[in-house]
Structures are given as structure tokens and as C-alpha cells.
């Protein structure tokens, strides 16, 4: 019983760090670069993406015995496209600011490699509960990845964190960090670098994060090797 | 004459100023994945040009004359992705029949085009912005040729630093992304052109 529970938990958490879809598998890069100019946009994108991923994973897992092998990919694409259309209409009706900020990138969830990849690699082979947990983990992992990129970009690029601009149900507030505008409207200090909210900043931030991750993994691997060597010496 | 000028301007603006990869971020996956060799990058770029232009020519009439009159314009995404998937299959069969050598060099990249966001992105933004046929065609041509130009330039740069001795952590994707950032800054300079 304990072991089964552990396995389920592992299933849920693997998508967050160990198999993070954006930073480890480097999938779904287009929205990760395009929608991360603001923290709110990134959260919105992550949530919409997670909804599509969870729904499509559940449905594909339910239908996995009905869909014959030759037509898997077209069938999956139709299922995913249907959920994307639902999400698009929903956000158009209730979250119009978010809908107009993300624009065509909501439709582009259809061709996001992560959704199709999880459908092919996981949901088509596992039961509903496992697929659901996998989708939740991957969704959270992707949202957190988007959030980390957008935090760096928004803070460095605009000098402040502002909420309530896109997700209009939150009351509007700004947190000044690198830039401070007083109540009269004068800029007291401004150390922001506007490059980071521009397209090139997205490439720089994403590249830097990938470099840091590869440095950490190579450091860990080298430490493992040294430990193994010491173990071998002691055994001798 | 006026139509011709605006057509040309639209092509240039979507090709260089608002470049697909470097400012609109469509098609990053093939941009990073298929740019290690100049030849394959060129092949991929050409295939993308072909598929984007053809899918725009097919999808625009479907949207304007079938989906809108039938009042089901919200089904556009599903229709487009099906059309693109079928188109990629048909193009693959066609090339296989008439030019096996080209098929061999494109082989792996053809099915990848279905999941290239540039194709769906262009077709979708055409119908989102309610462009007319000529402007849609200009958008498709400009975007796809822009993709071709950028992926070829990028693969040329990349084949050079693949053999150079850089920082260890930056090997592979990170340095490629930094190069893309520099290219994006360079393309930003073209903004004042029109």
C-alpha cells in the first residue's frame, strides 16, 4: 500500500523537477518565449495549458483501447484541438484581457509538443488515474517554468511586478523593485533594462537558465564520479 | 499599383521587421532542432515555405466560404490543424513519387512540419486579423521566407561555434539561444525600415 502511494506521488512530482517539460525535455519553447513578458501572462498561459493537458490526457486514456494504432496521432490531435477550442471560447468569454494578450498562442497549444508528447508517451499506455497525475505534474512543472522565466524578465525589464492588469479579477497593485515612481508621477529611480521585455531578452533568459541547469547537472555528475572512485579505492 | 505596393510592403514587414522566429516566436522547435547543418536547415526552410503558402491558399477559402456562412467560425482551429496534417501527408506522398532524392533529404523533417507552430500560427492569425486573400498570401509568403532566411543564417553561425571551444555549461542549446538573442537584437534594428 505504502509503495503504491509512493509511486503515485512520484508520478505526480516527476514532471515538476526531474522531467520538467520545458527545462529538461526542452519542449513547448514557443509559448515559453512569447508569453513570458509579464508574470500574469505566464500564469494565465500555464493554467490554460494545464487545463488542456489534463482534459486531453484523461480523455485519451479513457479512449486508449478504442483508438486503433494506425490513426493515433490524428485522433489525438482532434481531441486536443477540441479542448483548445473549449478553453479558447471560455477565456474569450470570461478572461478577455488574457485572451487578447495571449492572442494566437492559445490556439497554438494544439501544436505544443508537450500535449501530444504526453498523449503518445503516457496517456495512451496508462490508466486514467496515472494519466491524470502525470498531466497535473507536467502542468505544474510547465507553469512554474514559465513563472520563473517571466519573473526574471518582468523584474529586470520593467523594474516592478504588477498584478491585476491581465487577470482583472485581482485588484490592481504594483510592487516597485528596480524602479520607483512616486505619487506625483516622477520617476525617483529607474534601474530597469528594457531589453528583457523585448524578444531578445526572452532568448537570453531562457539560454541562461538552461546553462545554469547544465552546469548543475555536470557538477552533480562529477561529484558522483569522484564518490564512485573513492568507493572503489576503499574496496581495494 | 497601390495593391502591388501594399502587397510588397506586407511581405517585407512580416519577413524582416516582424520576423517569425525572432520577434513572433513561432517555430522555435525546428529552429533549434534542425539547424545543426546548413543543408538540412535549407531543406526544412523550403518545406516550411511550401506548406505555409499552400495551407494558407487552402484554409482561407474554407474559412471565408464554409465556416463563416455556416456560423461555425469557432471550429477554425480544428479545421486548420486537420487541413495542415492532411496537406503534409499529401505533400510527402507527392514528393516521394516525383522526386525521391528530395524526399530522402527532407524525409525526417516532413512530418515535423505538422507540429511547427509557424504553419498554424500564420493561418490562425490570418483569420483572427480578418485579412483578405491577398494580404493573407503576403503574410504567408513573408513569414515563411523570413523563417527560411533566419534558419539558414542561424545554421551557418551554429556550424561555426559547434567546433569552437566555449564555456562548458553553455555547450549545445544555451549558446544557440544566446546567438538567437544577438540575432534578435540585430533584427530589432530593422524596425524603422517602413
pLDDT tens digit string along A49-60?
999 999 999 999
% of chain A at pLDDT higher than 90: 31
Count chain A–chain B contacts defined by CB atoms under 8 A. 122
Domain count, chain A: 1
Using a CB–CB cut-off of 8 Å, the residues of A that contact B are: 26-27, 29-31, 33-34, 73-74, 77-78, 81-82, 84-85, 88-89, 103-104, 107-108, 110-113, 116, 195, 198-204, 206-208, 210-212, 214-215, 218
Specify the pLDDT at position B111: 74
Question: Average pLDDT in the A73-96 region?
Answer: 90
Query: Is the Cβ pair A107, B85 closer than 8 Å?
Result: no
- Residues from chain A that touch B185, judged by Cβ atoms under 8 A, are 195, 200
Distance CA B132, CA B100 (A): 36
Whether B29 sits inside 8 A of A214 (CB atoms) is no
What integer pLDDT is reported at residue A61 of this predicted model? Answer: 92
CA distance to partner chain A, nearest, from residue B185 (Å): 6
Cell (9 digits) for B146: 523570413
Cell representation of residue A51: 487545463
Residues of B in contact with A210 (CB under 8 A): 173-174, 177
User: What digits encode the pLDDT tens for the residues A139-172?
Assistant: 999 999 999 999 999 988 888 888 877 777 777 7
- Give yes or no for residue B140 having a pLDDT over 90: yes
CA atoms within 13 A on the CB side of A207: 21
CA distance B91 to A44: 37
CB contact under 8 A, A211 and B125: no
Nearest CA in chain A to B172: A211
CB atoms within 10 A of CB A175: 9
Give, in order, the Cα–Cα distances in Å from A171 to each of A46, A156, A166, A174, B166: 21, 23, 11, 10, 47
State whether B115 and A33 contact (CB < 8 Å).
Answer: no
Residue B107, pLDDT score = 61
Between the CA of residue A99 and those of A91, A93, A207, B80, B170, what are the distances in Å? 6, 9, 28, 20, 36
Nearest to A87 by CA among A57, A107, A61, A70: A107
Choice between A5 and A211, residue whose per-residue pLDDT is larger? A211
Full residue range of the structural domain in which residue A106 is found: 2-232
Q: Please give the Cα distance from B27 to B146 (Å, whole number).
A: 11
Q: Mind listing the pLDDT tens digit for each residue in A182-217?
A: 777 777 888 888 889 888 899 999 999 999 999 998
Q: What single DSSP character describes residue A63?
A: T
B168: closest chain A residue by CA = A215
Tell me whether residues B169 and A214 touch, CB distance under 8 A: yes
Domain boundaries, chain B: 2-193
Strand partners, A160: A176
Q: What's the mean per-residue pLDDT of chain A?
A: 87
- Comparing CA positions, the residue from B122, B83, B110, B67 lying closest to residue A108 is B122
**pLDDT category of residue B106 using cuts at 50, 70 and 90:** low
Q: Closest partner residue to A113 among B115, B172, B188, by Cβ?
A: B115
What DSSP character marks residue B130? T
User: C-alpha cell of A200?
Assistant: 531578445
Put simply, the answer to whether B78 touches A107 (Cβ < 8 Å) is no
Q: CB-based contacts of A234: which residues, under 8 Å, 6+ apart? A: none
Closest CA to A122 of A21, A2, A3, A1: A21
User: Which pLDDT does position B108 carry in this prediction?
Assistant: 65
- Kindly calculate the radius of gyration of chain A based on its CA atoms and give it in whole angstroms: 21
Q: Tell me the pLDDT band of B153, cut-offs 50, 70 and 90.
A: very high
Buried b vs exposed e over B51-83: b needs ≥16 C-beta within 10 Å?
A: bbbbbbebbbebbbeebeeeeeeeebbbbbbeb
CA of A210 vs chain B CAs: smallest distance (Å): 6
pLDDT recorded at residue B138: 93
pTM: 0.89
Amino acid at each position: 500500500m505504502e509503495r503504491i502511494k509512493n509511486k503515485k506521488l512520484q508520478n505526480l512530482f516527476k514532471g515538476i523537477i526531474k522531467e520538467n517539460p520545458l527545462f529538461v525535455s526542452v519542449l513547448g519553447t514557443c509559448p515559453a518565449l512569447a508569453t513570458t513578458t509579464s508574470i500574469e501572462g505566464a500564469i494565465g498561459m500555464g493554467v490554460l495549458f494545464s487545463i488542456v493537458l489534463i482534459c486531453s490526457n484523461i480523455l485519451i486514456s479513457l479512449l486508449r483501447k478504442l483508438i486503433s494504432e494506425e490513426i493515433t496521432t490524428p485522433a489525438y490531435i482532434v481531441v486536443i484541438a477540441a479542448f483548445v477550442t473549449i478553453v479558447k471560447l471560455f477565456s474569450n468569454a470570461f478572461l478577455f484581457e488574457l485572451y487578447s494578450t495571449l492572442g494566437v498562442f492559445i490556439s497554438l497549444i494544439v501544436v505544443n509538443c508537450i500535449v501530444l508528447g504526453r498523449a503518445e508517451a503516457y496517456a495512451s499506455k496508462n490508466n486514467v488515474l496515472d494519466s491524470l497525475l502525470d498531466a497535473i505534474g507536467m502542468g505544474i512543472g510547465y507553469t512554474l517554468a514559465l513563472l520563473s522565466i517571466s519573473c526574471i524578465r518582468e523584474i529586470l525589464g520593467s523594474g516592478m511586478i504588477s498584478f491585476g492588469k491581465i487577470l482583472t479579477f485581482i485588484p490592481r497593485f504594483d510592487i516597485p523593485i528596480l524602479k520607483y515612481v512616486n505619487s506625483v508621477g516622477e520617476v525617483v529611480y529607474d534601474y530597469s533594462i528594457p531589453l528583457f521585455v523585448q524578444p531578445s531578452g526572452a532568448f537570453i533568459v531562457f539560454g541562461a537558465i538552461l546553462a545554469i541547469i547544465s552546469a548543475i547537472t555536470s557538477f552533480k555528475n562529477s561529484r558522483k564520479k569522484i564518490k564512485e572512485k573513492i568507493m572503489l579505492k576503499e574496496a581495494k | 499599383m497601390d495593391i502591388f505596393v501594399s502587397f510588397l510592403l506586407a511581405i517585407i514587414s512580416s519577413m524582416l521587421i516582424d520576423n517569425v522566429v525572432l520577434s513572433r516566436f513561432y517555430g522555435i522547435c525546428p529552429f533549434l532542432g534542425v539547424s545543426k547543418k546548413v543543408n538540412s536547415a535549407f531543406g526544412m526552410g523550403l518545406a516550411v515555405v511550401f506548406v505555409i503558402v499552400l495551407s494558407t491558399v487552402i484554409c482561407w477559402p474554407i474559412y471565408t466560404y464554409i465556416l463563416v456562412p455556416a456560423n461555425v467560425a469557432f471550429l477554425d482551429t480544428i479545421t486548420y490543424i486537420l487541413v495542415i496534417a492532411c496537406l503534409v501527408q499529401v505533400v510527402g506522398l507527392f514528393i516521394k513519387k516525383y522526386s525521391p532524392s528530395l524526399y530522402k533529404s527532407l524525409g525526417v523533417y516532413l512530418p515535423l512540419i505538422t507540429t511547427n507552430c509557424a504553419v498554424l500560427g500564420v493561418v490562425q492569425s490570418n483569420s483572427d486579423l480578418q485579412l483578405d486573400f491577398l494580404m493573407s498570401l503576403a503574410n504567408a509568403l513573408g513569414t515563411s521566407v523570413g523563417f527560411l532566411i533566419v534558419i539558414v543564417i542561424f545554421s551557418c553561425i551554429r556550424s561555426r561555434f559547434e567546433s569552437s571551444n566555449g564555456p562548458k555549461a553553455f555547450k549545445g542549446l544555451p549558446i544557440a539561444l544566446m546567438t538567437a538573442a544577438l540575432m534578435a537584437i540585430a533584427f530589432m534594428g530593422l524596425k524603422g525600415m517602413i
